Chain A
Amino acid sequence: MTRWGMVIDLDRCTGCAACEVACKSENNIPTVSPEQAEMGRGMSWMRVIAEVRGEFPATTAQFYPRPCMHCDNPPCIRVCPVQATYINDEGLVGQIYARCIGCRYCGNACPYTVKYFNWYGPEWPDSERRYLNPDVSVRPRGVMEKCTFCHHRLQKARENARAEEREVLEEDYQPACAEICPTGAITFGDLDNRNHRVAALKDDPRAMRLLEDLGTQPKVYYLTSRR
């Protein structure tokens, strides 16, 4: 059974936030004004969060790129009153924008705060508007959205593989963040497929998951030698 998942090597992450930018342009994530961002309404499905330890000058920093965890036991889908957020049989947690009523219960239920709400209608500067991705639907005002593991790329990969009469390979389907990462810190693939790198990496002794004891069973693993 396919279970799409991600392994992020924090020992390689430099905190450059290229993944954030790639995600933003791949997924048509609207641009929010500085005032709105100040209010806590910024949107980035992939976000690099810094953990700073110690007092200056004896400080160390660790960066956590944080996409949707695509939990195997997602708390968000249970609370949605209209089934607008769901998990499919390949473990991807999806969001039905056309059905969402915008109650934001899923946002409250998510322990990783990966859900974003469209407080206003989406807006882009004119310079960006021309480069919107036609493969990704633009979300209207008043609905929830979040990282999809670029599942539109999976659809394309599957069509190509079917045309060539073969299985979907690891390199056929990579989300924008994994593709762009300059240090190769983000690995993506099928956690249950021995031919995909993530299957072995998730069992690395350095592997851990965020808030593992909540029982949400995230499919995003972090590798770190300092815990």
Chain B
Amino acid sequence: MRPDVTARLASLPPDERALLRPLVETSRGFYVTAALLAVIGLWGILAYYFQLRDGLGRTGLNRPEYWGIYIICFVFFIGISHAGTLISAILRVSHAEWRRSITRSAELITVLVIGFGAIQPIVDLGRPDRLLNVLFHAQLRSPLLWDVMSIGLYFTSCTIYLYVPMLPDLAIIRDSGIKAPRLYRFLAAGYRDTPSQRAVLERVIGVLAIVVIPIAVSVHTIIGWIFAMTLRPMWHSTIFGPYFVIGAIYSGIAAILIAMVILRRAYRLEHYFRDVHFDYLGRLLLVLSLLWFYFTFAEHLTVFYGAEPAEMRTFWAKVTGPFAVPFWLMVVGCFVVPFVLMARRATRTPRGTLIAGIAVVVGMWLERYNIVVPTSVNPIWELESFGHYLPTWIELSIMAGALSGFILLYMIATKFVPIVSIWEIKEAREAVREVADRVATYSGAPDVSAAAGHVP
């Protein structure tokens, strides 16, 4: 670090000093990890080059197994992207004060992972060169087209929802002069944190937080509908819209927890990501594990009880047949592990939530596998033979490359923006009194609110 930067950093107030340090100080471990991720990312690009050159024949896909790893990853990555925006928006709208230090890291996941999700169906196309046909020859009855529109809207709104609350922090970096002055002068867009600017900012954030919620819900609903609108056994289900939304939020919270544990360790953010955050997010994870179990149970019981032959072939293939291993691993990852760990306060710790988070993320990938593959290989007409699917190294490399690319981008982003919102943390300190007043108004003790100077 240059001495003038050190001096400037040292002259800043404590919150700024702690949270801006990662922007100017980079450890050796960071470079090693980034290089490793970059190599895996490039490997994925190389694999895609082979696929482009030779055709989708390089994958393990076939008839009737038309969709595989790419579509699984599409649903998976877009699911992870529900982390940020939805959680941060819901917590903001409900005035959950403990949200303040976690919103930024969550929103950043949303914006950075969504692109890696959105490219998956394009990687899956037989003719990516004709992609623009979805605009030139748009066929509005196709759920895939609804998806193009909802993901486009979601990406735009999430990017705005990430950027606007970042403005005061960008202005802080600009004024501190510790890094790339011209870049931050541009990014801060003339924000000076005057009372009137702050008032407008808070109003805009308030509106955005409400607007992004229905958009986020629509995105994963429509992804569920892509499957549900076909007549295929165990896809053609009305529960898929909400089931996918719940699954997306679930894997999203798990991803936030993993990111928080790593960030806390790497950037020494113990002061900001406290035990209470892991405890509260752990409770949220617990609620969602129960919701996930409820939906999964309801879906499978309905299929089993109705006992239609085509549905039952898929059902047994999952429960006891060739997909029994991924199916029961999914149940362990999505329900048993997170439920057992998150139900006890003693394990709602950073370490406990990390284990639960990893189990949920892996479990939710398997959930999408168990939705896409068993149905795909099982045609409705019983005389068509049961198919099979074994992904090739091309598909697995592209998956690994996309995951590494996302993590790398996230790491790089932590070098350009403070991963904990500085101004919101400061505001929280000022908000303590306001919260006390608010609580007093619900608690029905008029003398307290009168003492705080409020006239009802």
* Contact A117 B139, beta carbon cutoff 8 Å: no
Contacting A113 at CB < 8 Å: which of B57, B64, B127?
B64
Q: B148 — nearest CB in chain A belongs to which residue?
A: A81
Decide if A104 touches B387 in the complex (CB within 8 Å): no
Asked if A80 contacts B231 (CB within 8 A), the reply is: no
- Which residues of A from 63 to 116 have beta carbons under 8 Å from B? 64, 75, 78-84, 99-105, 107-109, 111-113, 115-116
Residues of B within 8 A of A (CB): 54-57, 60-67, 121, 124-128, 130-131, 133-134, 136-139, 141-145, 148, 226, 229-232, 376, 379-381, 383-384, 387-388
Taking CB as reference atom, which chain A residue is nearest B227?
A108
Q: Find out whether the CB atom of B127 lies under 8 angstroms from the CB atom of A108.
A: no
Chain A to chain B: the 9 pairs with minimum beta-carbon distance, closest first: A102-B126, A142-B126, A40-B62, A119-B57, A104-B66, A120-B57, A83-B139, A81-B142, A81-B144
Q: Is the CB of B67 within 8 A of A108?
A: yes
A75 touching B148 by the CB < 8 A rule? no
How far is B376's CA from A84's CA once the two chains are assembled, in angstroms? 22
Supposing A101-B127, A118-B126, A120-B57 touch, asked if A108 and B381 sit within 8 A by C-beta, the answer is: no
- Whether B54 contacts A111 by the Cβ 8 Å rule is no
Asked if B133 contacts A101 (CB within 8 A), the reply is: yes
Asked whether A105 and B142 contact (CB < 8 A) given A49-B384, A142-B127, the answer is yes
Residues of A within 8 A of B126 (CB): 100-104, 117-118, 141-144
A214 B144 Cβ-Cβ under 8 A: no
A-B contact pairs, 29 of them (CB 8 A): A40-B63, A40-B65, A49-B383, A51-B383, A78-B141, A78-B229, A79-B142, A81-B144, A82-B133, A82-B138, A82-B139, A84-B137, A99-B130, A100-B126, A102-B56, A103-B124, A103-B126, A104-B124, A105-B142, A108-B64, A116-B63, A118-B55, A118-B126, A119-B56, A120-B55, A141-B55, A142-B56, A143-B126, A210-B381
Q: Which B residues are in CB contact (< 8 Å) with A103? A: 121, 124-126, 144
Contact B142 A78 (CB under 8 A): yes
In the assembly, what is the distance between CA of A50 and CA of B130, in Å?
A: 38
- For residue A83, which residues in chain B have a CB less than 8 angstroms away from its CB? 137, 139
CB pair A41–B62 under 8 Å, yes or no, is yes
> Roughly how many angstroms separate A84 CA and B126 CA in the complex, as a whole number?
13
Q: With A and B bound together, what is the CA distance between A36 and B59 in angstroms? A: 12
Residue interface mask A141-182, B partner, CB < 8 A = 1: 111100000000000000000000000000000000000000
A-side interface residues, number (CB < 8 Å): 43
Which residues of B lie under 8 Å from residue A16 when comparing CB positions? none
Chain A interface, >50% SS class? loop
Chain A, residue nearest B59 (CB): A119
Closest B residue to A214 by CB, please name it: B231
The CA-CA distance from A101 to B133 in the complex, in Å, is 7
Residues from chain B with a CB closer than 8 A to the CB of A78 are 141-142, 229
Q: Which residues of B contact A82 (CB under 8 A)?
A: 130, 133-134, 136-139
- A184 close to chain B: CB less than 8 A: no
Given pairs A40-B64, A120-B54, 16 additional interface contacts (CB within 8 A):
A39-B62, A51-B383, A79-B141, A79-B229, A82-B130, A99-B133, A104-B124, A108-B67, A112-B381, A113-B384, A118-B55, A119-B57, A121-B55, A141-B126, A142-B56, A143-B127
B-side contacts of A101, CB under 8 Å: 125-128, 130-131, 133-134
A81–B54 contact, CB under 8 A? no
Find out whether the CB atom of A108 lies under 8 angstroms from the CB atom of B376. Answer: yes
- In whole angstroms, how far apart are the Cα atoms of A168 and B126 in the complex? 38
- Cα of A167 to Cα of B409 in the assembled complex, Å: 66
> A120 — which chain B residues lie within 8 A by C-beta?
54-55, 57
Residues in A whose Cβ lies below 8 Å from that of B57: 36, 41, 119-120
A64 touches B63 (CB 8 A): no
Residue of A nearest to B63 (CB): A40
Q: Is A200 an interface residue (CB 8 A)?
A: no
Contact across chains for B139 and A75 when beta carbons are under 8 A apart: no
CA distance A118 to B56 in the complex (A): 8
- Whole-angstrom CA separation of A108 from B124 in the bound complex: 14
Q: Are A111 and B380 neighbours in the complex by a CB distance under 8 Å?
A: yes
Residues in chain A near residue B54, CB distance under 8 A: 120
- Inter-chain contacts of B381 with A (CB < 8 A): 111-113, 210-211
Can you name the residue of chain B whose Cβ is closest to the Cβ of A47? B384
Interface string of A127-139 (1 = CB under 8 A from B): 0000000000000
Q: Say yes or no: B138 contacts A211, CB within 8 Å.
A: no
Q: Which residues of the other chain, A, contact B384 by a CB distance below 8 angstroms?
A: 49, 113
Which among B63, B130, B136 is the interface contact of A107 at CB below 8 angstroms?
Answer: B63
A210 to B381, CA, bound (A): 8
State A99–B67 Cα separation when bound (angstroms).
Answer: 20
